Structure 1
Amino acid sequence: MWQRGIRMAVLGAVLVILAGCGSKTVETAEKAPGEEAAWTVAAPIRIDGVRTADGGRSLVVDAEVPDGARDCVRGLRGEVDTVEHGTVYVRVTFETPSLDRESGCTGTQRVAATVKLGEPLSSRRVMVNSLDVYTPAGATAPALRRCGENGCDPTPPRCTSSSYRQAVNDTDIPKHTSWEERGCDDTWLVLDLSTRMGPVCGDTGDGCSSSHVSQRWFYRAETSGWKPVATNGNAGCMGIHKVLPELPTRLCASLPRLDRD
């Protein structure tokens, strides 16, 4: 089986040369005056998304690759490495002279690589270049959903601590944010999120000061977990009902005004 440990190609840095069933790393080499930059085989800088095509018999992988004033990519190729344990392992490669900065390939562009499958994808997952994993579960076809830090099978939305943690992880807020539940049912969740800001303080009395930035988030239950849909720090229901009129009154009637320290 082709080695799965293919590394990301970084502009102006070390690239991976794919040779046979192994790989080796080469450093930037100087070239003689007038000599053209060498083309090397590399992996995309980043995978932007995966979707199905041809009734599920093909995959289209959107990838970020080098770009510049001259040709920077040729031989874009997507193919199946192997299929096992419910996962289709895919590799996407191309040739590029971007190892040499004088090639001018210091920008990026988005390309689409088509991968032919032997049979429809169905419910199987897709791993691209042994890094990014995508799943059709909880996705809107033809797009596949990228698996995040909660894995490919998020905990169903529940009024539990583990489910709240997953909701916080999926919210665009700083890490190490704490939460306080303000209301929850089978469809809606209200959390007050607090993030400590300022210098890192040690023992009490060391003279440092810190503050908290607080937000109140409202979540709706979906198959993939709690989805953040609105934020509002007003007391009661008046403010949030302007944004989410369908939110049950019992979940917002007693909400206090959110203080910001």
Structure 2
Amino acid sequence: MGGTGSGGTGMGQWGIRMVVLGTALAFLVGCGSKTVETVEEAPAADSAWTLAAPIRIDGVRTADGGRSLVVDAEVPDGPRDCVRGLRGALDTVEHGTMYVRVTFETRSLNRDSGCTGTRRVEAAVKLGEPLNSRKVMVNSQDVYTTAGATPPALRRCGENGCDPTPPRCASASYQQAVNDTDIPEHTSWEERGCDDTWLVLDLSTRMGPVCGDAGDGCSSSGVSQRWFYRAEASGWRPVTTNGDAGCAGIHKVLPELPARLCASLPRLDRG
């Protein structure tokens, strides 16, 4: 009886060990299945990355004595990683222009990525040789030049091209001055005075409906401003506005303006 009791106790301990071991294996198998699921999800996440170009180029400046560029760009942003592998590279140099490419990989094309915001980044581009007076084209779109720029920044070429028009008392130069003034489109101008340093223009913008014949019952009005410009290397730069007659009003804010350019100015009719 004593021997039989001892054997029963041994079997009971063995049974308990088997239950504990079985529970441990079940737990490990459960953990293993979670690990496998995580590994399987990784390729799906990686497949969401797509090669892209910046949303916008905000500026370009030189570095390393003109042998490198720093491109300020706007890229997607969100709560998760939205950009990786940001890269700037020089593609080619042709006809006085360095062609630069800025790219990165992003998840923003995936609606579930959360990459709905933006942020600013800097992409470095090694040129291998000084930029000197050559232009820079970024991603076959934006063109920048050293002409008329304040180093180390480059100047973005606008609708007047990359080569600034020297300020002069001529119609083409007046048109550039109007284009560089913060006013509505389709604004007309009238010269009121000009010399080698100063330009005075009256600018008029029509407001209201577009009218046809005078007798069709349609009426519109105009908004006028008198702008004063100073000559700079890149063209006429807007300085201030004043619609008073003569020199008294403008000399309060621009005393250096020659009297010969303001003495005969009429009071501006603002329409």
The aligned counterpart of 2:155 is 145
Runs of 4+ off more than 2 Å: 34-37
* Residue from 131, 140, 144 that aligns with 2:141: 131
Which has the larger share of strand? Answer: 1
Answering whether residue 174 of structure 2 is matched by residue 164 of structure 1, we say yes
Secondary structure at the counterpart of residue 242 of structure 1: helix
Rg bigger for which structure? 2
On the 8 A contact 2:147/2:164 being kept in 1, the answer is no
The aligned counterpart of 1:173 is 183
On the 8 A contact 2:148/2:164 being kept in 1, the answer is no
The aligned counterpart of 1:111 is 121
Secondary structure at the counterpart of residue 163 of structure 2: coil
Q: 2:144 and 2:61 mapped to 1: Cα distance?
A: 9
How far apart are 1:98 and its partner, in Å? Answer: 0.2
* Residue from 205, 218, 242 that aligns with 1:208: 218
Q: 1:244 and 1:51 mapped to 2: Cα distance?
A: 33
Which has the larger share of helix? Answer: 2
Structure 1 residues without counterparts, runs of 5 or longer: 1-31
How far apart are 1:35 and its partner, in Å? Answer: 4.8
How far apart are 1:102 and its partner, in Å? Answer: 1.4
Q: 1:201 and 1:148 mapped to 2: Cα distance?
A: 32
The aligned counterpart of 1:39 is 49
Answering whether residue 239 of structure 2 is matched by residue 229 of structure 1, we say yes
How far apart are 1:170 and its partner, in Å? Answer: 0.6
1:91-106 alignment, distance < 5 Å = 91-106=101-116
Root-mean-square deviation (CA), in Å? 1.3
* Residue deviations 1:27-52 (CA, integer Å, cap 9, x gap): xxxxx9x9537000100011000000
Letter in 1 for 2:138: V
Letter in 2 for 1:53: A
Q: 1:107 and 1:203 mapped to 2: Cα distance?
A: 50
Q: 2:104 and 2:171 mapped to 1: Cα distance?
A: 45
Greater Cα offset, 44-53 or 203-212: 203-212
Q: Percent identity?
A: 85
Q: 1:121 and 1:256 mapped to 2: Cα distance?
A: 49
TM-score (normalizing by structure 2): 0.82
Secondary structure at the counterpart of residue 253 of structure 2: coil
Greater Cα offset, 239-248 or 189-198: 239-248
Aligned length: 229
Secondary structure at the counterpart of residue 267 of structure 2: coil
The aligned counterpart of 2:198 is 188
Letter in 1 for 2:224: S
* Residue deviations 1:109-163 (CA, integer Å, cap 9, x gap): 1111000011010000000000000000111100000000000012210100111
How far apart are 1:179 and its partner, in Å? Answer: 0.3
* Residue deviations 1:207-255 (CA, integer Å, cap 9, x gap): 1110000000000101111011111111111221121111111111111
* Residue from 43, 46, 70 that aligns with 1:60: 70
Q: 2:129 and 2:145 mapped to 1: Cα distance?
A: 16
* Residue from 88, 99, 107 that aligns with 2:98: 88
The aligned counterpart of 1:220 is 230
